[in-house]
Chain A
Amino acid sequence: MDAAATFQPNAAEAGIDRSLIVRNLTKAYRAGQPVLRDVSIAFAPRGVTAVIGPSGTGKSTLIRCINRLVDPTAGELLFRGDDLAKLRGRALREARRRIGMVFQEYNLVERLTVIENVLCGRLGYVPVWRAWARRFDSKDVDRAFQLIDAVGLTAFATQRADQLSGGQRQRVGIARALMQEPDLILADEPTSSLDPKTSVEIMELIASRAGERDIPAIVNIHNVALARRFADRIIGMSKGSIVFDGKPQELEDSHLLQIYGGEGWLE
């Protein structure tokens, strides 16, 4: 579709193992009340994994432990030869810049333009004085424009982010994540603030860009139908543990019952 055929800069480096292994991951914000209980999952080096489950079940915590926005209490996160759980300082920043993240509330810097928000994806790479003086590498600027084209915001490149609609903002968020040249994309409820049509478009964009770049994406999502439609694998969580792990077509009502509880809502 659209610019994909000519879109070279999105091709990821070859020969890197992008699988992520989560081993015995536990997180307790308060001692003795774990939100994540001894979770172990192996993520394949490509494909979209949807994590479903009720609110407050640890989906967000799981994703935030991976790029260490939340520090795990125990466990290992093996990615590209490092245990992400053990990294600190510069090593942690270098690991983070290979992991793109898309947020529910977009988290753009609203008073900056679209292009500058996208260029923020390079902040882990460029010297601070260059970012301050807005003297980004011309290759980076060109790539930012190409990504803006690819997410369909060509006409908005120099507009301020606070002038965009929710769907447009999320596209900027995706472009910013891709700007990092990531080896993994994390998306925390990327469609929960969007209308149904836009939600489909955003999921399609995440799935297609990750597919084209041949990198894995882990997406937390409330909407089971969207998860079924775009994911290659679905993980169901309940009370901090994994209760379902399989292909979308294997997910049955009995599993949903186990994940979400109740039953009236399934009819």
Chain B
Amino acid sequence: MTDSGLLPSGPAGQRLRQWQRFTPLQRVARAGFYVGVLIAIIWAMRTIQIIPEFLYDAPQQTADLFVRMWPIDWSWYPKTVHAALIETLHTATLGTILAVLLASPVALMVARNVTRSVVLNNVGRLILVATRSVHSLMWALFFVAVFGPGALAGVLAIAVHSIGFTGKFLSEAIEEAKPGPLEALVATGAPPAAVLIKGIWPQVKPAFLAIAMFRWDINVRESAVLGLVGGGGLGMALDTALSNLYWDQAGLVLVVILAVVIVTEIVTAWARSRII
């Protein structure tokens, strides 16, 4: 590398020191990465086969939908949508509480500072991945098949699907607990359960509440569509409106869902700022 005669010299007659952020090999790898991304995009576009004719009239179709939804049938709200809305909120809330109860022991099993067994850690991680990788709509289809259509299937779908998310973040919060205080409690002769309650829980509590609330926020949105597959709530009302082609009623449901999402966002943002 040091081709002394060709390199420029500094004021003191020394060679100027050179600096480059990346080695030649790294530069080739980076260029390769960008080419790879480009190939992936082109490949994906060719696979999904966009039919241009469908694109041309998309604006008219969209406009047509909005026209059919207008004026919104507000009178349908007290008759059906209000009860469905309340059912959706209950589904989300019960589902989240159940999820937190189910996820907590799994999170403790996954956290390496609590469970010092790689086998158990991985069993827990498998539970988290398995529950999370199946969408709540799929879980709802499953529970509707088992328990019949209704809010119970919705609650269980929300709960089981949320285990993965809640458990993963909870286990990370547990692993971030400072080891010093835990060591101090162990040194007082405290049994493991007492270390958990007095050492880990106070450190994890803010994250625990934030995770539960964030998940509730997500679950309100998810439970709003579960009715499409028989999970009760607003989705059921939307399904009814759509299958009857009552677009003004469908519009009402969509407006209600939008309003609920905005309100939960405001509520959880406020509550989070109070906890942390």
Taking Cβ atoms with an 8 Å cutoff, the residues of A that contact B are 67, 69, 93-101, 103, 105-112, 116, 120-125, 128, 131-132, 173, 176, 180
CB distance from B274 to the nearest CB of A (A): 15
Contacting residue for A105 out of B180, B185, B197, CB 8 A? B180
Complex formed: what's the CA distance from A111 to B202 in Å? Answer: 6
- Name the residue on A nearest B187 (C-beta): A101
Contacting residue for B189 out of A94, A103, A128, CB 8 A? A94
B203 close to chain A: CB less than 8 A: yes
Contacting residue for B188 out of A108, A110, A176, CB 8 A? A176
- Name the residue on A nearest B197 (C-beta): A132
CB distance from A62 to the nearest CB of B (A): 15
CB distance from A185 to the nearest CB of B (A): 11
Taking Cβ atoms with an 8 Å cutoff, the residues of B that contact A are 180-181, 183-191, 193-195, 197-199, 202-203, 205-206
> Does A109 contact B183, Cβ atoms closer than 8 Å?
no
- Name the residue on B nearest A179 (C-beta): B188
> Does A107 contact B188, Cβ atoms closer than 8 Å?
no
**Given A128-B193, A128-B197, does the pair A69, B186 have CB atoms closer than 8 Å?**
yes
**Given A95-B189, A96-B189, A109-B202, does the pair A101, B194 have CB atoms closer than 8 Å?**
no
**Given A112-B202, A131-B197, does the pair A93, B189 have CB atoms closer than 8 Å?**
yes
> Does A103 contact B190, Cβ atoms closer than 8 Å?
no
Contacting residue for A128 out of B180, B194, B205, B206, CB 8 A? B194
- Name the residue on B nearest A125 (C-beta): B189
Complex formed: what's the CA distance from A122 to B194 in Å? Answer: 10
> Does B205 contact A96, Cβ atoms closer than 8 Å?
no
> Does A121 contact B186, Cβ atoms closer than 8 Å?
no
Contacting residue for B184 out of A94, A98, A107, CB 8 A? A107
**Given A131-B194, A131-B198, does the pair A107, B189 have CB atoms closer than 8 Å?**
no
CB distance from A219 to the nearest CB of B (A): 15
- Name the residue on B nearest A67 (C-beta): B187
Complex formed: what's the CA distance from A120 to B201 in Å? Answer: 14
**Given A120-B198, A131-B198, does the pair A108, B189 have CB atoms closer than 8 Å?**
no
> Does A108 contact B181, Cβ atoms closer than 8 Å?
yes
CB distance from A66 to the nearest CB of B (A): 10
- Name the residue on B nearest A130 (C-beta): B194
Point out the residues of chain A lying under 8 angstroms from B189, CB to CB: 93-98, 123-125, 180
**Given A67-B187, A93-B190, A94-B189, does the pair A112, B198 have CB atoms closer than 8 Å?**
yes
> Does B190 contact A123, Cβ atoms closer than 8 Å?
yes
Complex formed: what's the CA distance from A131 to B202 in Å? Answer: 13
Contacting residue for B180 out of A93, A107, A132, CB 8 A? A107
Complex formed: what's the CA distance from A108 to B199 in Å? Answer: 9
